[in-house]
């Protein structure tokens, strides 16, 4: 029998207790899942932000910390964490992100706002969108989420360019990497989707110089992390029309303060970090199968490289 400590908030325990117990049983893991295991007897920690564990030092027997979220920037800053860390890669979360990105891409591509807000009796049939094949889309970050979004956008006919840290060869998209690759990826892009993790290297990836490389009137869609964009540069680019509209799901400060300039800005759409929320049933299966595999000698899945920060 292994001891699994659920170290997250009360709300998450309510959502996850039953799915985790079911998933552990289905994966054949004999486990005692509790919120109050002592550090010295804990074999695995299921971790969520805002939970009770800040200091991982006493967890000397712990074989892995399994994060409930895909983004790990908060926990990777914790210097007491020396145990292996796994991030969440969950098929439902990936599908949710694909739906959100495709939905917001199509909104901008089709110019839906003009019709939703323009029911004024005037028949303007001289303005219509290009077909997707004439609308280049660039995705910054082509890991689990960015690559899946790229495939869906390709299916719809968009020419997709993806950018990553290391060289990649992903079907149906032009894959670029490194600094030169970023310049090429952004040059002339009409829609840019940010799905990079938050690390020291990715902060302000979209700065003034890089926003200037986009096609005039480009659209920005950011479900990655707020600090990936230089906010002041974005506001300036919206002002000149270099960027037509930004759809932002993530922010430097969350919740986004009520008096923040982004709220109510006519060229910004704020969504409250809901692009892809972890779903308990499927996430519980991912965690249970990871523990089951590890107990049977397999390497941990979705391990975070602490050196890279993601």
Please report, to the nearest 10 degrees, the dihedral formed by the alpha carbons of residues 229, 249, 308, 142 taken in order. -100
Q: Which of 37, 104, 109, 225 is catalytic?
A: 225
Alpha helices in the chain (DSSP H): 10-26, 73-76, 91-110, 112-116, 144-155, 178-186, 208-211, 231-240, 280-295
Residue 150 sits in the site that holds ligand NAP (CB under 6 A)? no
33: closest CA among 60, 13, 15, 53? 13
Q: How many helices (H) and strands (E) does the chain have?
A: 9, 12
- For 196-232, letters b (16+ CB in 10 Å) and e give bbbbeebbebbeeebbebbbeebbbbbbbbbbbbbbe
Residue 288 sits in the site that holds ligand NAP (CB under 6 A)? no
Kindly tell me which residue out of 37, 135, 165, 210 binds ligand NAP, with binding defined by CB under 6 A: 165
Using Cβ positions, the residue closest to ligand NAP within the complex turns out to be: 143
195: closest CA among 155, 137, 125, 133? 137
Active-site residue 177, yes or no? no
Binding mask 235-254 for ligand NAP (x = CB under 6 A): --------------xx----
Kindly tell me which residue out of 104, 225, 245, 294 binds ligand NAP, with binding defined by CB under 6 A: 225
Residue 293 sits in the site that holds ligand NAP (CB under 6 A)? no
Kindly indicate which of the ranges 43-51, 56-64, 140-148, 153-161 contains the residues binding ligand NAP, using the contact rule CB under 6 A.
140-148
Q: CA-CA distance, 16 to 46, in Å (whole number)?
A: 10
Active-site residue 61, yes or no? no
- Name beta bridge partners: 67: 47
Residue 280 sits in the site that holds ligand NAP (CB under 6 A)? no
Residue 210 sits in the site that holds ligand NAP (CB under 6 A)? no
Kindly tell me which residue out of 67, 138, 161, 164 binds ligand NAP, with binding defined by CB under 6 A: 164
DSSP 8-state symbol, 303? B
Residue 51 sits in the site that holds ligand NAP (CB under 6 A)? no
Token pair 């893991």 is found at 29
Binding mask 189-208 for ligand NAP (x = CB under 6 A): ------xxxxx-xx------
Question: With respect to ligand NAP, which residue has the nearer C-beta, 121 or 255?
Answer: 255
Contact (CB, 8 A) for 3 and 34:
yes
Residue 161 CB, shortest distance to ligand NAP, in Å, is 13
Kindly tell me which residue out of 48, 51, 71, 226 binds ligand NAP, with binding defined by CB under 6 A: 71
Question: With respect to ligand NAP, which residue has the nearer C-beta, 165 or 245?
Answer: 165
Residues acting as catalytic residues: 225, 273
Binding site residues, ligand NAP, CB under 6 A: 70-71, 89, 141-146, 164-166, 168, 195-199, 201-202, 223-225, 249-250, 273, 275-276, 310
């Amino acid at each position: 029998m292994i001891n699994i400590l659920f170290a997250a908030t009360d709300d998450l325990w309510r959502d996850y207790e039953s799915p985790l117990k079911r998933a552990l049983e289905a994966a054949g893991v004999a486990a005692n899942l509790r919120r109050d295991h002592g550090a010295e007897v804990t074999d695995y920690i299921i971790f969520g932000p805002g939970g009770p564990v800040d200091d991982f030092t006493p967890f000397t027997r712990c074989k892995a910390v399994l994060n409930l979220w895909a983004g790990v920037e908060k926990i990777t800053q914790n210097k007491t964490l020396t145990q292996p860390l796994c991030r969440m890669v969950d098929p439902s979360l990936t599908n949710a992100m694909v739906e959100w990105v495709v939905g917001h891409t199509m909104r901008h591509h089709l110019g839906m706002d003009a019709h939703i807000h323009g029911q004024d009796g005037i028949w303007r049939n001289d303005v219509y969108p290009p077909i997707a094949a004439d609308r280049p889309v660039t995705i910054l970050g082509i890991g689990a989420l960015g690559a899946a979004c790229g495939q869906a956008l390709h299916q719809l006919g968009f020419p997709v360019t993806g950018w990553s840290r290391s060289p990649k060869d992903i079907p149906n998209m032009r894959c670029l990497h490194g600094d030169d690759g970023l310049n090429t990826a952004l040059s002339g892009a009409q829609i840019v989707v940010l799905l990079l993790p938050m690390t020291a290297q990715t902060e302000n990836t979209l700065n003034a110089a890089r926003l200037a490389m986009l096609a005039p009137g480009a659209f920005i869609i950011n479900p990655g992390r707020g600090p990936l964009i230089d906010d002041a540069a974005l506001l300036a680019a919206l002002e000149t029309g270099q960027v037509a509209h930004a759809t932002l799901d993530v922010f430097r400060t969350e919740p986004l303060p009520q008096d923040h300039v982004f709220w109510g800005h006519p060229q910004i759409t704020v969504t409250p970090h809901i692009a892809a929320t972890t779903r308990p049933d499927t996430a519980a299966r991912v965690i249970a199968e990871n523990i089951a595999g590890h107990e049977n000698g397999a390497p941990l899945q979705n391990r975070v490289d602490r050196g890279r920060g993601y």
